Amino acid sequence: MTAMILHASLAVLAATTDIELDAEPNWYEKPYTPADAATVTRNPPPFIWRPPKDDLSYVLELSTTDDFATERRRVEDIAVSTVALGEPLVPGRWFWRYGVRLDDGDVTFSKARSFTVPEDAWRFPYPDMDAVVASIPLEHPRLFILRGELDAYRQRARDGDLKGVRDQLTRACDKYLGQDLVEEPPYVTGKGPERGKNYCDIFRATRPPMDRMEQSALTYLLTEDERYGNEAKRRILHFFGWDPEGPTAYKHNDEPAMWVMMRGVRAYDWTYDLFSPEERAKVEGVMHIRAAQFYQHLKYRRRFHTNPHESHAGRTLGFLGEAALAFAHEWPESPEWLDYVMTLFWNIYPAWGKDDGGWHEGPGYWSAYMSFALHFVVPLRNATGADLMQRPFFRNTPYYLLYTNPPYAKISPFGDGESGASSGGKGSLMYQFASLLEDPYVRSYADAWKRDGGAGMLGVVLKDDALRAKSPAELPQARHFPGVGLVSLHTALGNAPEDVHFLIHSDPYGPISHAHADENAFTLEAFGEPLAIASGYYPWYGSNHHSKWSWESKSSNTITFDGGIGQKIRDAKSKGAIRAFRTTDDYDYVVADATQAYQGRLTKFIRKVVHVRPGVFVLFDDLAAPAPVTFEWRLHARSEMALDESTQRVTVAQGEARLDLHFVQPQRVALSQTTGFDFPPERGDYPDQWHLVASPPEKLGALRYLTVLVPYKAGAQDQRPSMHAARCDGGLGVKLADAQGAHYVAFRTGDSAEVAIPGVTTSTADVLAVHVNAEGKIDRQLD
């Protein structure tokens, strides 16, 4: 008996002493939120902490004093390391701490952290989960359209504003009724790029027939034509006849595991009345297993509540939410799953963006993942009234696309798929966002593509042709997305023939997930043509071309050295930052810092940009290395560039657009150009691209480049400003003469107290930018 008691005591000791509170989060974990001494923008704020381990029971305490004796609030039985509160806090200073309930029932607490709730903090309390679940209808359908709304939608599909959608759906479905279905795929085999190819081959084969499962179910829902309903049923029974613990189990091959649930749960909800009790038991049994796999992955394998930085998990979260809504009253776990998903959407999601709405993985992945997200956000709102569209991220994120990838863009930087143009699919998604937000500027994107919300369910429930677009020319022509380190500078946003768009990237996330080692890189499009591009393609994730060219810094318009050595790839420590951003009617100013991205390979890379409006860009690159190196200033284009070493100029021609690049400093660089790739793209017929390197003739420990980029239309070369180095005290400068006088742009160097253009002006700031008119008076300046 004594031995048994001793053993039990040791077990309790082991269970409690390995719990470390207040440990510093790893780079991939969410930080403590609210941070100590923070002023929050949301009331109540999300509370997040680093979990010591899984399956702990937490307590949250709040108080207006650090001894937790006044206005004390307490939340018990918290299952994961984040909680969303259901009531706003009284404005003022608060303290919070989290605690872990020990095996003996006692609670051990973290240190206290303070935060301030201002009077104007945005109110966003978490809804009562019992009320949320109770509000979900007992009858099907539950997703997007509720049973009581069916007659109205069907009437609109017969002879109203949805008739075109119905006709499009029926034409598509008629082509594949009774079509042979893809067999259950094998296990994924191979290693490295070979495995990546096999993985892609499987999802490219299984996605289309699963897409048609949902499409035929939607057609049935709108038409009541059982031909389409039975086609959806046939596909549901087929795909949910696959072994959920076999080759398409989530832990082995997440793509078909996610896709079959995304399409199948919706399709089953919309065709529920066509299934017998026996068929329902079979289908729901498999769906339940797959949904449980999602939950296990998110909560235990991925620990999304503290480590959300996995791209695929970001869509699995919404798919689990849809399943929990669809089976809210059938599966006992559904309320727990739905609460987990909603809490993470309230507090954590998205991993790849902040309240400003930017997206770390690039416009291509933004469009896919925002569609996935809206497929949870919309049915949640329709069924329960819980409205995630009130979050600042969702309200701002359409502007990420509008600015960085306008509808006329021919490239989509920065991230995987950046070689592609904007697309009509993005137009449909922006229509959906515009309807949800009632935003006429966002609607302009869809109008540019002449697109509505499309022929999917989001296009049906968000159909709103009464909303009229407004021109984005009315918006500010520059925008900073600090969460992802992007600054977008336009001259005529929304006007493709006249717009010049300069986009610079220096990302605090670093080159992880679908991002590349491209800190401080820029792209430039002008007059509807891409002139300075992010090079490389995306045959499949991790292919040799993708991993050995597109991921590397040498593929971007940034700095490398000694034959292409750049920033460390696939490493979150290889991050950048936008240190400054200012915008005026006459000038924009950006400071980007990529020093950390080289992790000691270079010891300084600061890129400063002055946009002389409209459409002239002066770049100042300040570089240093731990030992002398051959610095390489890189530029990429879709066509062969004209190089003139005698004048230190490069000309890019694309269509009717031109780019004049002038190296002002150093006074002499060697210009070289190559085409093709070290590792050619493995899939598809991809056109060649051209790659410029500008290097000094000798190895140096430090170097400063001063360059001027002037886009212009073919035949308008006489309208370009003349440019040459300007005498400058305490810095490097350039004079840009125009018909009205001259712009002077100078950057301070070293430790001088000020930078001066003799006879013009001085400044104690790091940058000087002024325009002197024909009378010698300063009439414009960067404040």
Task: Determine contact, residues 358/486, Cβ cutoff 8 Å.
Answer: yes
Asked if residue 740 and residue 601 are part of one domain, the reply reads: no
pLDDT at 17: 53
Asked if residue 763 and residue 632 are part of one domain, the reply reads: no
Residues 6+ apart with CB under 8 A from 343: 80, 82, 83, 84, 126, 305
pLDDT category, 104, cuts 50, 70, 90? confident
CATH code where residue 92 lies: 2.60.40.10
**Proportion of the chain above pLDDT 90, given as a percent:** 95
Q: Which of 673, 689, 713 is the last residue of a domain?
A: 713
What's the pLDDT tens digit per position in 323-345?
999 999 999 999 999 999 999 99
pLDDT exceeds 60 at position 377: yes
pLDDT at 238: 98
pLDDT category, 154, cuts 50, 70, 90? very high
Instruction: Tell me what the mean pLDDT of segment 129-147 comes to.
Output: 97
Task: Determine contact, residues 75/84, Cβ cutoff 8 Å.
Answer: no
391 falls within a domain: no
Asked if residue 781 and residue 633 are part of one domain, the reply reads: no
Q: Are strands 113-117 and 38-39 parallel, antiparallel or unpaired?
A: parallel
473 falls within a domain: no
pLDDT at 479: 98
What's the pLDDT tens digit per position in 618-660?
999 999 999 999 999 999 999 999 999 999 999 999 999 999 9
Average pLDDT over the chain, rounded to an integer: 95
Q: Which of 83, 101, 123 is the last residue of a domain?
A: 123
User: Model's pTM, two decimal places?
Assistant: 0.95
Q: Are strands 92-101 and 107-109 parallel, antiparallel or unpaired?
A: antiparallel
Asked if residue 586 and residue 522 are part of one domain, the reply reads: yes
Task: Determine contact, residues 308/30, Cβ cutoff 8 Å.
Answer: yes
Asked if residue 753 and residue 632 are part of one domain, the reply reads: no
Give the residue among 229, 220, 236 at the shortest CA–CA distance from 166: 220
703 falls within a domain: yes
Q: Which helix (H) or strand (E) holds 561?
A: strand 559-561
CA distances from 614 to 362, 477, 502, 531, 679 (A): 26, 10, 11, 17, 39
pLDDT at 625: 98
pLDDT at 667: 86
pLDDT at 684: 77
Residue 701: how many other CB atoms lie within 10 Å: 12
Provide Rg for the chain, Cα atoms: 29
Asked if residue 761 and residue 641 are part of one domain, the reply reads: no
Chain centroid, CA 17 distance in Å? 40
Instruction: Tell me what the mean pLDDT of segment 36-48 comes to.
Output: 98
Asked if residue 709 and residue 727 are part of one domain, the reply reads: no
Instruction: Tell me what the mean pLDDT of segment 576-587 comes to.
Output: 98
pLDDT exceeds 90 at position 783: no
Asked if residue 63 and residue 39 are part of one domain, the reply reads: yes
Q: What would the 3-class secondary structure string for 32-43 be?
A: CECCCCEECCEE
Task: Determine contact, residues 233/271, Cβ cutoff 8 Å.
Answer: yes
Asked if residue 726 and residue 694 are part of one domain, the reply reads: no
Asked if residue 46 and residue 26 are part of one domain, the reply reads: yes
562 falls within a domain: yes
pLDDT at 752: 85
pLDDT exceeds 60 at position 47: yes
Sign of the torsion formed by the C-alpha atoms of 50, 56, 59 and 65: negative
Phi/psi of residue 590, each to 5°?
-135, 140
Asked if residue 727 and residue 709 are part of one domain, the reply reads: no
pLDDT exceeds 80 at position 134: yes
As a whole number of angstroms, the distance between CA 329 and CA 119 comes to 40
What's the pLDDT tens digit per position in 56-95?
999 999 999 999 998 899 999 999 999 999 999 999 999 9
CA distances from 597 to 272, 566, 567, 678 (A): 53, 9, 5, 23
744 falls within a domain: yes
CATH code where residue 640 lies: 2.70.98.70
Amino acid found at 472: P
pLDDT exceeds 50 at position 711: yes
pLDDT at 6: 33
pLDDT at 685: 86
Instruction: Tell me what the mean pLDDT of segment 725-747 comes to.
Output: 95
233 falls within a domain: no
| Cα angle 291, 292, 294; round to 5 | 65
Instruction: Tell me what the mean pLDDT of segment 654-675 comes to.
Output: 96
Instruction: Tell me what the mean pLDDT of segment 408-436 comes to.
Output: 97
402 falls within a domain: no
Q: Which helix (H) or strand (E) holds 286?
A: helix 277-296
Q: How many domains does the chain have?
A: 3
Q: Which of 91, 123, 155 is the last residue of a domain?
A: 123
Give the residue among 517, 520, 536 at the shortest CA–CA distance from 420: 536
pLDDT category, 7, cuts 50, 70, 90? very low
What's the pLDDT tens digit per position in 211-250?
999 999 999 999 999 999 999 999 999 999 999 999 999 9
Give the residue among 609, 585, 607, 589 at the shortest CA–CA distance from 598: 607
Amino acid found at 480: H
446 falls within a domain: no
Q: Which helix (H) or strand (E) holds 449?
A: helix 440-449
| Structural domain containing residue 48 | 2-123
Asked if residue 550 and residue 506 are part of one domain, the reply reads: yes
What's the pLDDT tens digit per position in 252-275?
999 999 999 999 999 999 999 999
